[in-house]
A and B are shown apart, each in its own frame.
Chain A
Amino acid sequence: MQQLTEIRWHARAGQGAVTAAKLVAETALAADQFMQAMPEYGPERMGAPIKAFTRISPEPIDIHCNIEHPNVVIVLDDSLLDVVNVTEGLVDDGAVIVNTCTPPDAVKRALGLAEGVTVACVDASGIAVDTIKRDIPNTPMVGALAKVTGAVSLDSVKSLLVSTFGKKFGQDIIDANLASVDRAYEEVTVA
């Protein structure tokens, strides 16, 4: 695994990006990694474009600034692709994971991305509506992240969901979230 993985989340306020950034960080901690997760605080209107950040490293993390050159960009809402420069500063061999029904090669062309960049797409909203019964695409996107980057493992994501959601929610909600992670892991397609 590389030294430091930096993930930038793009979403609309209310889609659970901050929760997902935390979930990934906590999963990394459970695997004895060092991590940070932080929201970028701004106008917090529902639906406004927001960013959140996660860092994962096998070594202690010293830096406390925003992530400018992410290894991974995760977009929870494909309407942001026309609004925000989501791939700004992305490293040359980075990955972009988008919640969309559009195929990844089309997204890659539309974003004008270099050959070395991995683009992965999954209908996380569709999966969330099927499983969780609400359009909250954050947990399925973590499943896609596990598949595309290996920054966190599928098993560790699922066991953390059980332990953290288990304190607040019933078994049906936990099962729905686990199913959403599994499906996104299986259904994500890469270009």
Chain B
Amino acid sequence: MPVEHKTVAATGNNMVAEAMRQCAPDVVAAYPITPQTTIVEEFARYVAQGKVRTEYVTTESEHSAMSACIGASAAGARVMTATCGPGLAMMWEMLYIASGMRLPIVMLNTNRALSAPINIHCDHSDVMGARDAGWILLFAETAQEAYDNTIMSIRVAEDPDVLLPVMSCLDGFITTHSIDRAQTMDDESVGAFVGDYTPQNALLDADNPVSHGNFAGLGGPYFEFKRSQRIAMDRSKSVIERVGAEFAELSGRPFGLIETDMMDDAEVAIVVIGSSAGNVRHVAKQMRAEGVKAGLVKVRCFRPFPAAELAAALSGMKAVAVLDRSESFGAEGGPLFMETRSALYDLERRVPVVNYIYGLGGSDVRLDLIRSVYTDLSDIAAGGEVPAGLHYLGAR
């Protein structure tokens, strides 16, 4: 049967809640937090209306929410949840347990800044703090990509070659609360794509008894467990690409670990994650009309990190700017900058890379700010000096 596409006016959170319903998780355990709240509100309504057969567990904190997800997933259930910012921070301990127990939990994260000062708006401090927790990390630019990533995440997480939790991120308020034009697919097509879940090593499989998360102290296999997580994470790269290609065939929307735009003849490029990629694309088109060979690389998957793909895309550039929506205080730069520059280290020809911290706490990513980055890059490309240090884009 052909896929039925329906064009809708929907927020990112509407799209995610719809995708969750279509993925039909057995268990969702969650605690509401702005700007994630409308996802779990809407999903809870679907449960109450009988539109999805999910055991919905309301918990008293995010630590408990992730704990319940871990228990349910270890038992053998398909499990999803959602959180953001301080909620993700409160899950900290449990994030590592989910990945260490190799549980294919899918979590939506509506990127929100961390306090103090208190801020409910978008940046990537929350997820970047969790970048070493052993979760696969996907990012959406739009409500559409948030929907698509949610569905793909189930397949990636549950792939027997992967069995890792996936965090699917969308920008708080900018993507979660803006109404955008997007397309949903029919329930049957999504259901067939994600398939039925066959749990591996389920605690409730009494014929094949197993235990999870055992003591593995000194002399135990802890070290080897960590290596197995590394192997699974590395292996997940080709699985994500394969699932992305299959999804593209279904949806008509291409997916890549990175997405390149106007890079064929580009001389200067901006590397960016999330909703700001759209702003960069818009300005890059304007710059091209003015004779600047501007390009854009959008990173849709941060873990596993697409180092080889970035090196290939950026190898010929005269200057590259990496935009980070999170801080790594005291480091050489933001996390995307550090990993991108490291990915370029082995290239024959050295590519100048500059770092900009931008948009912390939802600070507006104005088009003139993006333009100023391309102008800086053009100066470097024309032989100007590469400015040292990182730059706070638009900070007053």
Contact = CB atoms under 8 A, between A and B. Distances in A.
Interface of A: 22, 25-26, 29, 34-39, 41, 60-66, 68
Interface string B273-315: 0011011011000000000000000000000000000000000
A37 B180 CA distance: 7
B326 to A, nearest CB: 18
A25 B9 contact: yes
Contacts of B367: 63, 65
**Of A36, A61, A63, most B-chain CB atoms within 10 Å:** A63
Contacts of A38: 173-174, 177-179
Given A22-B9, A29-B9, A63 B278 contact: yes
B279 A64 contact: yes
B230 interface: no
Given A29-B9, A35-B9, A65 B178 contact: no
Contacts of B279: 62-65
Contact of B173 (A25, A37, A41): A41
Given A22-B179, A34-B181, A65 B364 contact: yes
Contacts of B178: 36-38, 64
A187 B106 CA distance: 53
The 4 A-B pairs of least Cβ separation, nearest first, read A38-B178, A62-B278, A37-B179, A62-B282
A152 to B, nearest CB: 13
Contacts of A36: 178-180
B174 A64 contact: yes
A105 B8 CA distance: 40
A66 B282 contact: no
A26 B364 CA distance: 25
Contacts of A63: 278-279, 282, 367
Contact of B181 (A35, A39, A65, A66): A35
B66 interface: no
Nearest to A68: B366
Nearest to B284: A62
Contacts of A35: 9, 179-181
A66 B364 contact: yes
Contacts, number: 58
B282 A25 contact: no
11 contacts: A25-B9, A36-B179, A36-B180, A37-B178, A37-B179, A38-B174, A38-B177, A38-B178, A64-B171, A65-B367, A66-B366
Nearest to A22: B179
A26 B177 contact: no
Contact of A25 (B175, B179, B276, B281): B179
Contacts of B282: 62-63
B224 to A, nearest CB: 44
Nearest to B122: A64
A7 to B, nearest CB: 13
A39 B364 contact: no
Contacts of B173: 38, 41
A131 B30 CA distance: 43
B7 A29 contact: yes
B281 A62 contact: yes
A61 B182 CA distance: 12
B372 to A, nearest CB: 14
Nearest to A21: B179
Nearest to B277: A62
Contacts of A41: 120-121, 173, 177
A66 B362 CA distance: 11
Given A22-B9, A29-B9, A35-B9, A64 B179 contact: no
Contacts of B179: 22, 25-26, 35-38
B365 interface: yes
Contact of B276 (A26, A61, A64): A64
A60 B281 CA distance: 12
Contacts of A62: 278-279, 281-282
Contacts of A37: 9, 178-179
A25 B8 CA distance: 11
Contacts of A66: 364, 366
Interface string B95-124: 000000000000000000000000011000
**Of A25, A29, A60, A65, most B-chain CB atoms within 10 Å:** A65
A50 to B, nearest CB: 13
B9 A26 contact: yes
Given A38-B174, A41-B121, 12 more contacts: A26-B9, A29-B9, A35-B9, A36-B178, A38-B179, A41-B173, A61-B278, A62-B281, A63-B278, A63-B279, A64-B174, A66-B366
A47 to B, nearest CB: 21
A89 to B, nearest CB: 11
A42 B179 CA distance: 18
A36 B11 CA distance: 9
A100 B174 CA distance: 32
Contacts of B278: 61-64
B183 to A, nearest CB: 11
A64 B171 CA distance: 10
A81 to B, nearest CB: 24
B366 A65 contact: yes
A26 B7 CA distance: 11
Nearest to A164: B9
